[in-house]
Amino acid sequence: MDIQFIIFVGYFILIFLIGWLSLKWTKSEEDYWIAGSKLGWGIGGATMAATHTSAGTFIGTIGVIYSVGWSFGWVLITIPLAYWFMVAVLAPRFTAIKELTLPAFLQRRYQSKTARGVGGVIILIATVVYIQAQIVAGGLVANVVFGITPLTGMIIFTIILLIYTLVGGMLAVVYTDFLQMIIMIVGTVISVPLALMHFDSLSGLIEKVEIIKPLAFEWGGFPTVLLITLSLAFFLGSVATPEKVIRLYAMKDMKTIRRGILLAVIVVTGINLLVFILGLASMVLFPNLPTGDLAMPMIAKTVLPTFVGTIMLAAITSAMMSTVDSLLLVAGSALSEDIYQNIIHKKASQKRRLGVARIGILIVGIIPLIFIIGGFAEGELVQFIVILFTAIMAAGFFTPVVGGVLWKRATKQGAIASMIGGVLITGLWKALGNPSIYPVLPDYKILGDPSIYPVLPGFIVSILCYIIFSLTTQPPPETAWKPYFEKKNE
């Protein structure tokens, strides 16, 4: 316990130090929101990878593999494809004009403050959903490491995150992300061989898994349609979620973006493959856990040597923090830049906007904790809370963002209808597709088929609204789309 306490306290002190230094380096709104748009490929790629790798990876993915088997791994194959699409199709045009937020892009491209406001509201809603998963995972880790109650761990985890994100902004986030990525890589690379020592080899582990859970290497764990639609959620969400695309603005140029995203693909894919092995090991070592989300903390606590296990738990904590801080920053910018300045106080000073942003970060960080205490999403695996966030973001933003740089005819009416329609149908499908409510609403079972993840109907409605409303309204002026269709910036 002493070693664990020292490592974690030292880690958090270092995080706070980075936040304080970042505050001194922050001279403008551009520094606070997009790190001055000066990131190189190393830091840029690291922060992209760290943002992607969250509790959904170390807690959620292992939890799902523990519960249903290897088939979930097929979902994550879409991630490299998504990053290729981002760098080959989206980034060259999307970064033609750099903004401070994703909704600011929507306003410029569609010449609509309403589109920007709608985008800001969607970000706030989805961020609250996502942060819940990370806070739940933080509570699990704190319970395993320090023996405190999960709720106490959740509160401490939330306070730490809020402090350094509030203080340092994007500069604090990207530099802590770099540190957190190193910890994640080291922790995972060390942990897998040590876990495999309990099984002689990888083949020995696979043999034991086949005995304990014969369906672990079959498609039977998930319906095929569910796997495909989950894959769609990961692909669309990896391309167009605000906390990722804003990093395209933070990197210096397209050459930097290409190298940075290549680094992110290598790191994310490598960590996922190693995490799969840990998920299989947990099936054999802890066959009767009450929830799969406990698998990784239990491996770190009981299987690995104390020092290595603590490093692994620090890696899990790093994964959670590296994603939540990014989302808190995106939520703060949505409230300050896209809602407050855009709708409420158009002439607000920079100091006032940053003040509003910090209040927004504080509120968005606390609300998920209140929801958790109230029992919202109780009993749901962390990974499925994460995927719900991804589905909301994908249904809301993929079509107007990607369509905006590929289709000149797209209008503000199409973009607004696309965002609202996509998010609304995704939410309804999720609510009405919950098997627990079938006895109450049996007539709606076919509408919310649980084998089809909500992102598919949401995405379909998003595209249809985008096309129909764009074609039935006045074409946009040339000034709206021209900057994104000129020669690609390099």
Q: What is the pLDDT of residues 232-270, one digit of tens each?
A: 888 888 887 777 887 788 788 888 989 989 998 888 888
Query: Please, which pLDDT band fits residue 405 given cuts at 50, 70 and 90?
Result: very high
Single-letter amino acid, residue 285: L
**pLDDT at residue number 461:** 94
297-312: average pLDDT: 75
396-410: average pLDDT: 93
**pLDDT at residue number 475:** 93
Of all residues in the chain, what percent carry a pLDDT higher than 90? 13
**pLDDT at residue number 340:** 72
Nearest to 403 by CA among 105, 101, 120, 99: 105
DSSP string, 326-347: HHHHHHHHIIIIIIIIIII-TT
Q: What is the pLDDT of residues 217-228, one digit of tens each?
A: 776 666 778 788
**pLDDT at residue number 221:** 65
Count other C-beta atoms under 10 Å from residue 1's C-beta. Answer: 10
Higher pLDDT, 5 or 262: 262
Question: DSSP 3-state helix, strand, coil percentages of the chain (rounded to 5)?
Answer: 85, 0, 15
**Token pair listed for 44:** 């840029």
Q: What is the pLDDT of residues 348-395, one digit of tens each?
A: 676 777 777 777 777 777 877 787 776 655 545 556 666 777 788 888
**Cα maximum dimension of the chain:** 68
**pLDDT at residue number 2:** 64
326-334: average pLDDT: 70
Single-letter amino acid, residue 31: D
Q: Give the predicted TM-score (pTM) of the model.
A: 0.76
**pLDDT at residue number 442:** 37
270-287: average pLDDT: 84
DSSP string, 435-455: GGGTTT-GGGTTTT-TTS-TH
**pLDDT at residue number 361:** 75
Q: d(Cα 118, Cα 77) in Å, to the nearest integer?
A: 31
For residue 39, list its beta bridge partners.
Answer: 251
Q: d(Cα 487, Cα 490) in Å, to the nearest integer?
A: 9
Q: Of the ranges 146-160, 226-240, 271-285, which one carries the lowest mean pLDDT score?
A: 146-160
**Are 57 and 187 a contacting pair, CB within 8 Å?**
no
Q: Kindly list the domain boundaries of the chain, sorted by start residue.
A: 2-378
Fold of 2-378: Sodium/glucose cotransporter (1.20.1730)
Q: How many CA atoms lie within 13 A of 206 on its CB side?
A: 7
**pLDDT at residue number 409:** 94
- Across 211-225, 299-313, 401-415, 474-488, the highest mean pLDDT is recorded for 401-415
Q: Of the ranges 122-131, 164-173, 254-263, which one carries the lowest mean pLDDT score?
A: 164-173
Could you tell me the CA-to-CA distances from 68 to 88, 111, 228, 279, 306 in Å, in that order? 34, 47, 16, 10, 29
Q: Is 147 helix (H, G, I), strand (E, B) or coil?
A: coil
